[in-house]
Amino acid sequence: MTETQTTTAAVDLAVPDTVEQARADFRRWMADHRVDLEQFRETGGEVTEIFGRLRQLQRMLFDSGWIRLGWPPEMGGLGGAPMLRSIISEELAAAGYPPPFSFATQEVLGPAVAEFARPELAAHVLPRLLSGQETWCQGFSEPGAGSDLASLRLKAVAVEGGWRVSGEKIWTSWAQLADRCVLLARTGDLDSGHRGISAFLLDMDTPGITVSLLRSMNGDDEFCSLFFDNVFIPEDRLLGKPDGGWAVTMHVLAGERGAAAWQRQIWLRSRLDELAAAGGVDDTVLGESLELLMALRVLSRRTVRALSAGEPVGSTTSLDKLAMSTAEKFLFDAAMSGASDEIVLGGSFDSGSGPGGGDGAWRNDYLYSRASSIYGGAAEIQRNIIAERLLGLPR
């Protein structure tokens, strides 16, 4: 891919000592820049338009230093506790701004690349991710390997200077817009399970990669199939050790079920507030939805704190994933119970649009929520993990 320099000049931002100080300082900054930020309240448009707008927001946050808090200086950050990163998306949502798309990606994939990539590679690519210059995707699931990633079959064969990869990935979010992909491939025998998997950071413009869009029932083209035909990956793009990709996998999944769950509950809370303001849903149902979201908030915050401190999280992240899917489904079931016309007909809860007259966001989100107990690890698998590994119950 074409490489351009990412400027990481010094910024006039003192690294806050505490999360509370960071929160107060960021609120003050948003108030001072409310005129410049106003353009980012708009959320509609084509996918490329939305991504372009969110990249501008991310660049603004990068240049001001906020999005660099908690990341090592040698990787484009400003230093400070990683926990500082958790407040930016929360405060943006509270102020009515959408978080940049790559927030979730950088918290899921960024820490794994920082931990397992060669230092010179991490120093090169992470500033590009943080600044919004690049978008990354996650090449994990396959047609026959979803929740059971240890059974993946995409084959990487060692050759001079690197590997040649052939096979297929599926359910890769926004791969059509991605610049790089954190990819899992089988470098051991087919029956080697998790011991024969390696992880790579792949440039998406490498010859031999075909991206095929998968239209979801909500009309989005978020998911893609990836086809690899003898694709070459240089040896310096290996993350961790050969056949050591399971450690990378666990690192990514911890971020996905912790940091990403934290950001998801922020967004879900904003949707609950909108639903409550619209009326039509029983207060008892709204209260139960709030309880589920608060449980998710507590669980995901615990995970974020542990990850920030470098502590192992293990199987406890299955609690986060199960709580997230439960809270998400309940919220949109509640919306359906009180405003079925708006959802079925694609309207909004704004009195000025009426049923069928909105942007269809609630219908889109309701349909998407149906898959929340499948993507990122099926609920049935998470219950088994909780039962066997956390509660010590027999198989």
What is the CATH classification number for the domain harbouring 339?
Answer: 1.20.140.10
Last residue within a domain, chosen from 96, 131, 166: 131
Same domain, 364 and 320: yes
Task: Summarize pLDDT for 229-242 with one digit per residue, the tens.
Answer: 999 999 999 999 99
Res. 257 pLDDT band, cuts 50 70 90: confident
Domain endpoint, select from 219, 244, 269 = 244
Active site residues: 256
pLDDT of the residue at 357: 37
CA distance 121 to 270: 37
Give the pLDDT confidence score for residue 352 in this predicted structure: 37
> Residues 6 or more apart from 59 whose CB is under 8 A from it?
131, 132, 133
360 and 278, same domain (yes or no): yes
Instruction: Look at residue 96 in the predicted model and tell me its pLDDT.
Output: 84
Q: Are 64 and 79 in contact (CB under 8 A)?
A: no
Least confident of 237-246, 261-270, 274-283, 345-354: 345-354
Question: Predicted confidence band at 211 (pLDDT cuts at 50, 70, 90)?
Answer: very high
Residue 280 lies in a domain: yes
**Number of compact structural domains in the chain:** 3
Least confident residue range of 72-76, 145-149, 256-260, 344-348: 344-348
Q: What is the pLDDT of residues 303-331, one digit of tens each?
A: 989 988 888 888 999 999 999 999 999 99
Q: Say what the pTM is.
A: 0.89
Among 84, 237, 85, smallest CA distance to 156 is for 237
Calculate the alpha carbon distances from 271 to 140, 257, 274, 308 in Å: 29, 20, 5, 27
How confident is residue 228, by pLDDT bands cut at 50, 70 and 90? very high
Q: Would you place residue 48 in the very low, low, confident or very high pLDDT band (cuts 50, 70, 90)?
A: confident
- Do 354 and 254 fall into the same domain? yes
Mean pLDDT of 54-82: 94
- CATH number of the domain to which 127 belongs: 1.10.540
Mean pLDDT over each residue of the chain, to the nearest integer: 89
Q: Residue 171 is part of which domain span?
A: 136-244
Q: Are 316 and 304 in contact (CB under 8 A)?
A: no
Query: 360 and 304: one domain?
Result: yes
| Residue (of 303, 290, 154) closest to 233 by Cα position | 154
The single-letter code of the amino acid at 154 is: L
Is the C-alpha dihedral spanning 46, 269, 303, 367 positive or negative? Answer: negative
pLDDT tens-digit series, residues 168-203 = 999 999 999 999 999 999 999 988 999 999 999 999
Give yes or no: residues 252 and 368 share one domain. yes
- d(CA 339, CA 203) in angstroms, rounded, equals 44
